[in-house]
Amino acid sequence: MSLDNVMEVSLAVFMVQITLFSIVDTAHPGCECVVFSATFGKEKGVFKSPDYPKPYLPNIDCLLYTFLGSSDEIIEINFMDFDVRSRGETECMRGDYLKVFLHLESGDVNEYTPWERLLCGRLADIPTILYSSGPGLVLEFHTGQLSVNATGFSGTFRFIDKKKYKTAGMKLPNTMCDYQFLSSNHQPSYGRFYSPRYPSNYPSNIRCSYRFRARYGEYVRIMFEEVYLQKGDISCLNRADIIRVYDGKTSTDQAITILCNEGTEIEVLSTGPELFVEFVANSDQPGRGFRASFQFQQGIDNSVDLPNSPRQSGSIVEAEGEPSASEARSQCDINIISDTNKNGTIVSPNYPAPYPPKTTCRYEFQGRGKERVQIVFQEFNLYNIPGSKDCDGQDSLIAYVHIDGRMEKIDTFCGSISPKPVMSNGPRLKLEFQSLYAAKYPRGFKALYSFTENFGIRTGTQLPDYPCAFVFNSNESRTGIFYSPNYPGSYPRDTECHYFFHGNHDEKVHLHFNYFDIEGVLPCEAVSASDYVEFSNYMARDRKYSRHCGQLEEFDVESDRKFFRVTFRSNDRLDGTGFNATYHFLNEIETYTKKPSASVGTYESYPEWCFHYGFLVILARFLQ
């Protein structure tokens, strides 16, 4: 393609867009360059491939789109359309492609300048928004010898003040990305912090720490507003890039949460005055990273003095010790926090007498650290219109959890059948009671609440290194049960739990699943928005075992050696009841036999075990 042709097409396109550009020779031999350095007062400028929206020409050896800002600016590129011929997902170089340079201090590139990625295919195949980390960004366009019907690309660009993404706090000397945030009278009690180079891609092979130190009586609140590490649903155990949040001074303290995929509006609250965030990145294709805000908060005290009587006309909260509830907006709107009491009782208005009609009561729960809110119902009896098949238009109790910055409904309960346990996906949960009708007999509901760190799992030994991880050791018990979070109630969303089984030498692990209901469809991956259970003989993923999801009949899984891992992972979409399973550590001479039981599938069901030692020992001696 001649320089004259490029100039003619470019002038026709870009002059209309009122964008300052020039076509110049470049430091990259054989390349021609179009430079964009201003938008002439408009918020955004526009760029396009030659002849767009007509198909681009073949044999474009090297055409550079160079974007140059001032020293205190970065560049945002937003592709509106993209159609560049591809010869496979990983073979951009064999077709037509756009090479991307994001980390430049100027617009100069040559054959030795490192580039971040290649773009080809359609709009759905590429990241539509790209950011530079400095004042320069370059797109290098190449087309092959074949004429194609691909139309190329179009997009917008703008220049952004770099200070917008400056991390508050003090950068520690002789470090690349370690920061300390202190609460004091001389500094704001809130601010923002970012991964290195945000909103551009973070570098590989880095480790960054963010240490927050509040004053006595204060807590630390962090909101991860955006997290862009890797796409997909791979367990955080197997991720190269990861964010860990610890409830204390260092990474030796208890882990509150671990983030390794993509997400928005993820809230973290410390249990004391210190919080430690660690970001580790070792992948070959880094993501954009994270944007987060922090706040040093005074201790929340929602407690009020309740009447001496254990009942009052509004909703009640009964707890051991001093009550931790307050009537927030009306007589029956109640906020319950974990600072004072970890468990207690909530009831409907006037309980155990019938509740009044046309009443709405809200029960809002706030935990800290890795606490989850669990509700276990003791009595449930709401007025039900005869013949009704669902909860629409009925007296009801609705459960909400915090997802993507909003409270989202996860279930609605009505009638007289007691609901199964309910668990939050984080430190917040809201219940909303709505009564529409007057009735003489329905007593309403009574439920126990608890702020729990064990996710409702009461077997095994919980590890502090992960938010939800449990160890089952053969030396402590050779047989037992394990189950999903909050079983037999629905498991919480956005949750990852690990079950590690450690046997002795020459032992293996046998698992029998009595009940299995995990939301999803085969092959249990992100493309089908599936939750899943994964098995492995290693800490890493084991291709020998396929993922399990859906509603399955009883089945067995066995390890190859003394170590076995089971990982449960749920997303933020739907939920199921989970699973209930038994485990047994077997020696090489032992055989597992299950005796059918009428109670299979219940929380209390245990298989019976039969070991045929005698015959196996005789056979072993005979073979000698």
Handedness of CA 316, 319, 323, 326 (dihedral sign): negative
Q: What is the pLDDT of residues 267-307, one digit of tens each?
A: 999 999 999 999 999 998 899 999 999 999 987 544 333 33
Please name the fold of domain 166-298.
Jelly Rolls (2.60.120)
pLDDT at 592 over 90: no
The highest-level CATH class for domain 317-452 is mainly beta
**Angle CA 565–567–570, to nearest 5:** 180
Task: State the pLDDT confidence band at 88, using cuts at 50, 70 and 90.
Answer: low
Q: Characterise 149 by phi-psi region: left (phi > 0), alpha (psi -120 to 50), beta (else).
A: alpha
User: What is the rounded distance in angstroms from the CA atom of residue 551 to the CA atom of residue 557?
Assistant: 16
State pLDDT tens for residues 36-61: 999 888 999 999 999 999 999 999 98
> Which pLDDT score, from 0 to 100, does residue 624 have?
38
pLDDT of residue 400: 97
> Confidence class of residue 28 from pLDDT cuts 50, 70 and 90?
low
Three-state SS annotation for 248-310 = CCCCCCCEEEEECCEEEEEEEECCCCEEEEEEEECCCCCCCEEEEEEEEEECCCCCCCCCCCC
Q: Which of 360, 314, 319 is nearest to 337 (CA)?
A: 319
CA 325 vs. chain centroid, Å, equals 30
pTM, rounded to two decimals: 0.83
Q: Is the dihedral angle over the CA atoms 366, 371, 377, 381 positive or is it negative?
A: positive
**Percent residues over pLDDT 70 in the chain:** 84
Q: Kindly report the number of other CB atoms within 10 A of residue 255's CB atom.
A: 22
Residue 344 and residue 320 in contact, taking contact as beta carbons nearer than 8 Å: yes
pLDDT tens digits, 243-259: 999 999 999 999 999 99
- Which pLDDT does position 243 carry in this prediction? 98
For residue 78, what are its two tokens? 């937003």
Cβ-in-10-Å burial (0-12, 13-18, 19+) of 324 comes to buried
Selection from 26, 31, 24, 68 nearest residue 157 by Cα = 68
Asked if 3-163 and 461-614 have one fold, the answer is yes
Q: Is the pLDDT of residue 512 over 90?
A: yes
- Enumerate the β-bridge partners of residue 402: 407
CATH (one of 3.10.20.90, 3.20.20.30, 2.60.120.290, 3.30.1370.100) for 3-163 = 2.60.120.290
Q: Among candidates 316, 292, 552, 532, which has minimal Cα distance to 445?
A: 316
> How far apart are the C-alpha atoms of 408 and 390, rounded to whole Å?
19
Give residue for tokens 């749920």. Answer: 570
Q: Is 249 helix (H, G, I), strand (E, B) or coil?
A: coil
At 173-209, the pLDDT tens digits run 999 999 999 999 988 899 999 999 999 999 999 999 9
Predicted confidence band at 31 (pLDDT cuts at 50, 70, 90)? Answer: confident
Q: Are the CB atoms for 405 and 264 separated by under 8 Å?
A: yes
pLDDT classification of 4: cutoffs 50, 70, 90: very low
Q: Are 269 and 367 in contact (CB under 8 A)?
A: yes
Question: What residue segments make up the domains of the chain, in order of their start?
Answer: 3-163, 166-298, 317-452, 461-614
Please state, in angstroms and as integers, the Cα–Cα distance from residue 571 to each residue in 106, 169, 229, 401, 524, following that order: 42, 33, 16, 13, 12
Task: Of 69, 47, 45, 49, give the one whose Cα is nearest residue 58.
Answer: 49
Helix (H) or strand (E) holding 508: strand 507-518
The average pLDDT across 80-84 equals 97
pLDDT range class, residue 355, cuts 50, 70, 90: very high
pLDDT digits (tens, 9 = 90+) for 90-146: 578 878 999 999 999 888 898 889 999 999 999 999 999 999 999 999 999 999 988
CB 502, CB 472: distance < 8 Å: yes
| DSSP per position, 151-206 | -EEEEEEEEEEGGGGPPPSEEPTT-SS-EEEE--TTS-SEEEEE-TTTTSPPPSSE
Give dist(CA 169, CA 383) in Å, integer.
55
Q: What is the CATH number of domain 461-614?
A: 2.60.120.290
CA dihedral of 46, 51, 56, 59, whole degrees rounded to 10: -100
DSSP 17-55: TT-B--EEE-SSTT-EEEEE-B-TTSS-EEEE-TTTTSP
Q: In the prediction, which pLDDT does 186 show?
A: 87
